[in-house]
Structure 1
Amino acid sequence: MFSKLKIHEKPGVVEWAERCLVLPRETSPNAPGRFSTARMPYMREPLESIREEGLQHIYWCFGTQSGKTVSLLIAAAYFIDNDPAPMLWALPTEILARSFSRARLQPLISKNDVLARHKRRDPDAFTAAEMRLDSMELYMVGVSEPGNLSSRPIMRCVMDEEAKYKHENKEEAHPVDLIEERAKGFHRYQILHASTPSSEDSYFWQNFITTDMRKFYVPCPRCGEMMPLEFSRNTVQWERREDLEGDALADWVQDHTFYVCPHCEGRVEDWEKIGMMEKGEWRPTNPNASRARRGYHLNSLYSPFVTWGQTARKFIVAQNDLFRQVALHNFRNGWEALPFTQYEIKVGDDSVRGLRGVCRRGELPRHYYYMVVAYDPGQNQTHWVAQAIGRGGETWVVDWGTLLGISTTDATPGIGAHFESLEWGGVRPDFGLIDSGDWAQKVYDECY
């Protein structure tokens, strides 16, 4: 009789998960099967941290393909079987929340006996929006509906893709604050904040930098010095090929990239990464953080599913993208797990003159993507400039001039007639742009 009253110590998160859980393909497309941290040793400490008393906020600022979502699912599974309490899983929208529930969370619960045994027989108790288990409730909500965040008390919460939360209703507090208010009624409340970052001024990043901001340090296989893996021109390098460009260059880079140790400048190959991570350790970088707030930062270079070359290729493609700034923004957020920053600078005449190339007026550069002519109409004159645009956003001024008017008449050629006459060595412009300004009707008529 007294054996039932004996206090049983809860198992470690990783030990329990590796012993009890099998990841279905729906839950883990990259690595289905029995759960293991062998290929992702960096997951161990973040997972064990969910058991630490007094740790109220845990931030997982991870890049893509690094195991962030699987880690969250393992944490939820551990709570269901070992430490049940009311729990909320929040995503940016209701549609995303229910889709994630059906596609990834529910298969994990239903296909593992250790979790499925906690399901009630009532089918209405296990829906995409609400899973009422034998000893806890798990709610899936979208933060776009503030009412979902303030209607029930919770002890734990997963704020998934938190950087994408929008504060649309200014009459309400920010969604993050609304959720935290629901949890503060519990003495042992805990919130897992997980996301790739967006911008420096986002709610997620500003809160993340108040944590101890831990980085995963690994030893260099050449000199043994510990270092965090970081993407830069000095650390991620590739063998040069001056005769290649575009997709051919990107393909070459993917197969000929290596990592360079910042201590000894030794070359580190992809196949050495797993061994380095096995000897790695998390180190805090912000000594002023509260003991109740912990943060883990991990970029995609650590992922066992991503090579040095794939990271470098993604960067090369982003640099050459037609929408370069958008592509680099995505690389910075998703692959480096860092916020994207836009800088505004003033450029003087001397700076512009310093960028002059060797092409003469009317001469086209060797490699360009498209030709555009821009017109700026004024009261008495219309200035124009023809530019060649490169795939990486480079600009060459090919030609320029001034017209006396906007409209084409029998006596005076305007913008339309001028555009039709332009040609450089048989090359016509691909399209034209007009700043209509105060002359909108005239410009529209001329375009027509």
Structure 2
Amino acid sequence: MTSVIVETANARRISYDVMAEILEPPPEVNYLAWAEDNIVFSERESQFPGPYNRDLFPYFDEVLRALSPDDPCRIVSVRASAQIGKTVVANIFTCGSIEMDPGDFLYVHPTENNAQRWSKMKLAPMLRNTTALSKLFPMKNRDGLDSVLYKERIDGRGAIQISGANSPASLSQVTMKRQVQDDLSKWEINAGGDPETQADSRSRAHEFAKILKISTPLVMPGCRITRNFEDGSQEYPYVPCPHCDHFQVLEWENMLANLDEEKPEDAHFSCIECGGLIEEYHRPQMTRRLEFRAHNPKAKRHHRSFYIWSAYSVLQSWERIAREWLGARGDPASEQTFLNDTVGKAYVTSGEAPPWETLRDRGANSDYAKGRIPAGFFILTIGIDCQDDRVEWQTIAWGRDLRRAVIDCGRIPGHISDKACQERLDAMLQQTWPNSYGQKLAADKVAIDGNAYTEDVWEWAKRHPAARLVMVRGSNTDSAPLTQRVKKERNHKTGKLLKYAKRFYNFNASVLKMALYRNVAKQDPLERGFVAFPTGLEDDYYQQLTAERRVPKKRKDGFTEYKWEKEKTQANEMLDTMNQAEVAAILYGIRDLPDVIWDRLEAERETAPQEAQLDFEDGLFARLVPTSSPAETSATRPQSKPAEKPNRWQTRN
């Protein structure tokens, strides 16, 4: 008889193994070590290809430590400049968590379109090219476990859900231990209320949850990431002076005070203790000893918040920071972009214009009349606004340094669909205005509001060249682009593509209003962005121009929004047409028009008229007094000869 030996499992041994696995402490969650072991940048992704190098991003060390379970804080906020690596930190937190401490993870972008783009362009390559992750996420579209907005581990122990803040459905019925709220300042109220509150509530069931909030700031009051930074520990990056070793924050105001406009390549800081020059070549040795110090330490246990800006980053030179400022200075819209993207701070605005009486008094003392173009302004644009029973318009002239002069405004009775109204609009597009040299200029670019009566506006607009006439509509959100062509739109009844989309543009009305209200307060005619007003404007013009305020609005859910509003009885068409005329100028290219084009326009459009040769004192004030009395005739008037072109002072005044 053959004996058979049967090996059976040792039940006691198995129970001991299971117990040991259960009782064994989980491995350390160390995002810094994980990044060094797993993150490798390609040449396409970074100007510093290769493994993650902490020496290049020393300011992220403490942020990643704060995200570890060893730190008791629940929320980590990062207010930072654009393009300094914020997304890298978010990716390390996301992918490191899903590998080292598996569980469900929520990643929220401002919109679902942003979420899909990030998933395809950032997350998918990382899951595919990182060895530790490629085994967990084969990405073979297995029964819905791998889609653009949902990535599940192959063993089912965790998943990444990717959502848009504009979709309340994607922020409901899920419980997440960890989450990232990306580009937080761009989140807008959705149909369900405040998306930030909705996202925060997804982690409420976890006592030891971690929520990372990251963003470049926008406008205060109302900026989400700035509010979070101020609610948190307010940790600033301190570095030692290379001369006296005194630790300090590299503040933009310090660089600005030391900036030589003629030599932006020499941009530097000065030590607040010893006064020694801190130059860019000192940056590597200083940032190696960088440490964050909390200005609100009592919040540190619950909410750690960090501030980082471009001066600390190897991705941005100090010379480039200086040149960006010199290019933006004096233009509020550009200054906002600089403060947000480069300095990492919110643009603070009062949200209201100077008193209209102040602007009226300035116009009453102007040296040019309504209907005439003063010297130094070579480009004309028109803004048109459509109402139920009328069409309002305004003509603006533009000069160098984004200076503008109000030229004319008016009202055409009737609806935009009326034939008589359209004929008068056609005539206005052919109208010309005389400048101080006797030349007559027509509008170079015209923008008409297409938000209301869109089809009627299109029926009129399509009769004119797209290069000269565009349709526009405003968006009052702070995060919208300054101008952007609308996406292809279809007729909601027929489904056919609407042809007007080819010449239809959205614009950021909120930013343009804030910029205008800062500019109209400027007193120096040579200052960048100065707004000139002619004599002959009625009080109603100034009242309409200053009709709106940016005010807080308390919602039923307790969240405060900031919206532009006007008095119910006050019209605001002159503010709207001013914005539309500016959009026309932007689309014409005025914000980045090269000097050679300005020089050509000046030569073509400001040819000196035939007038008598005058002494310097007479010529200086020639345009302020009549050249002849009513009784003077051609027989008594002195014979004239060609005059030289006015000097720069005359041209600008």
Cα contact 1:65–1:303 (8 A) shared by 2: no
Among 74, 77, 95, which residue is 1:56 paired with? 74
Structure 2 equivalent of residue 313 of structure 1: 323
Cα contact 1:236–1:312 (8 A) shared by 2: no
Amino acid at match of 1:231: W
Structure 2 equivalent of residue 278 of structure 1: 288
CA distance in 1, matches of 2:327, 2:57: 27
Structure 2 equivalent of residue 174 of structure 1: 194
Structure 1 equivalent of residue 522 of structure 2: none
- With over 3 angstroms needed to count, the CA separation of the structure-2 counterparts of 1:317 and 1:179, relative to structure 1, is same
Amino acid at match of 1:213: Q
Classify the secondary structure of the residue corresponding to 1:218. strand
Cα contact 1:211–1:293 (8 A) shared by 2: yes
Q: TM-score, normalized by length of structure 1? A: 0.77
- With over 3 angstroms needed to count, the CA separation of the structure-2 counterparts of 1:394 and 1:94, relative to structure 1, is same
Amino acid at match of 1:61: R
Structure 2 equivalent of residue 224 of structure 1: 245
Amino acid at match of 1:193: K
Structure 2 equivalent of residue 346 of structure 1: 354
Classify the secondary structure of the residue corresponding to 2:56. coil
Larger Rg: 2
Amino acid at match of 1:210: D
- With over 3 angstroms needed to count, the CA separation of the structure-2 counterparts of 1:357 and 1:217, relative to structure 1, is farther
CA distance in 1, matches of 2:201, 2:302: 16
Cα contact 2:168–2:190 (8 A) shared by 1: no
CA distance in 2, matches of 1:439, 1:166: 27
- With over 3 angstroms needed to count, the CA separation of the structure-2 counterparts of 1:178 and 1:372, relative to structure 1, is closer
Structure 1 equivalent of residue 210 of structure 2: 190
Classify the secondary structure of the residue corresponding to 2:202. helix
Cα contact 1:24–1:111 (8 A) shared by 2: no
User: After the TM superposition, which residues 36-435 of structure 1 pair with which residues of structure 2 at under 5 Å, given as runs?
Assistant: 36-51=53-68, 52-119=70-137, 123-124=141-142, 125-133=145-153, 134=155, 135-169=157-191, 172-200=192-220, 201-232=222-253, 235=256, 237-241=258-262, 253=264, 255-289=265-299, 291-319=301-329, 324-343=331-350, 344=352, 346=354, 370=379, 389-394=398-403, 420=432, 422-425=434-437, 428-429=440-441, 431=443
Amino acid at match of 1:216: P
Amino acid at match of 1:39: L
How far did 1:66 drift? Answer: 1.5
After superposition, the C-alpha distances for 1:66-107 in whole angstroms (9 at most, x for unaligned) are 211101111112112211111000001111111101111121
Cα contact 1:88–1:158 (8 A) shared by 2: yes
- With over 3 angstroms needed to count, the CA separation of the structure-2 counterparts of 1:168 and 1:428, relative to structure 1, is farther
CA distance in 1, matches of 2:573, 2:215: 47
After superposition, the C-alpha distances for 1:218-263 in whole angstroms (9 at most, x for unaligned) are 112233221112212654643343xxxxxxxxxx63x332233333
Classify the secondary structure of the residue corresponding to 2:173. coil
- With over 3 angstroms needed to count, the CA separation of the structure-2 counterparts of 1:314 and 1:438, relative to structure 1, is closer
Cα contact 1:215–1:228 (8 A) shared by 2: yes
Amino acid at match of 2:354: K
How far did 1:164 drift? Answer: 0.7
How far did 1:355 drift? Answer: 12
- With over 3 angstroms needed to count, the CA separation of the structure-2 counterparts of 1:333 and 1:389, relative to structure 1, is same
**Greater CA drift, 140-149 or 332-341:** 332-341
Classify the secondary structure of the residue corresponding to 1:238. coil
CA distance in 1, matches of 2:310, 2:396: 37
Amino acid at match of 2:241: C
CA distance in 2, matches of 1:328, 1:206: 21
How far did 1:303 drift? Answer: 1.5
Counting aligned pairs with the same residue, the percent is 20
**Greater CA drift, 126-135 or 156-165:** 126-135
Classify the secondary structure of the residue corresponding to 1:141. strand
Cα contact 2:380–2:396 (8 A) shared by 1: yes
How far did 1:54 drift? Answer: 2.8
- With over 3 angstroms needed to count, the CA separation of the structure-2 counterparts of 1:390 and 1:265, relative to structure 1, is farther
Structure 1 equivalent of residue 32 of structure 2: 14
Work out which structure has the larger RCO, using CA pairs closer than 8 Å and 6 or more positions apart in sequence: 1
Classify the secondary structure of the residue corresponding to 2:238. strand
Cα contact 1:319–1:392 (8 A) shared by 2: no
Structure 2: where are the runs of 5+ without partners? Answer: 1-15, 384-393, 414-426, 447-536, 545-570, 575-653
- With over 3 angstroms needed to count, the CA separation of the structure-2 counterparts of 1:126 and 1:356, relative to structure 1, is same
Cα contact 1:258–1:268 (8 A) shared by 2: yes
CA distance in 2, matches of 1:267, 1:369: 44
CA distance in 1, matches of 2:573, 2:341: 43
CA distance in 2, matches of 1:368, 1:257: 33
Amino acid at match of 2:123: L
How far did 1:392 drift? Answer: 3.5
CA distance in 1, matches of 2:193, 2:378: 47
How far did 1:154 drift? Answer: 1.1
After superposition, the C-alpha distances for 1:382-404 in whole angstroms (9 at most, x for unaligned) are xxx9986444444579x99x99x
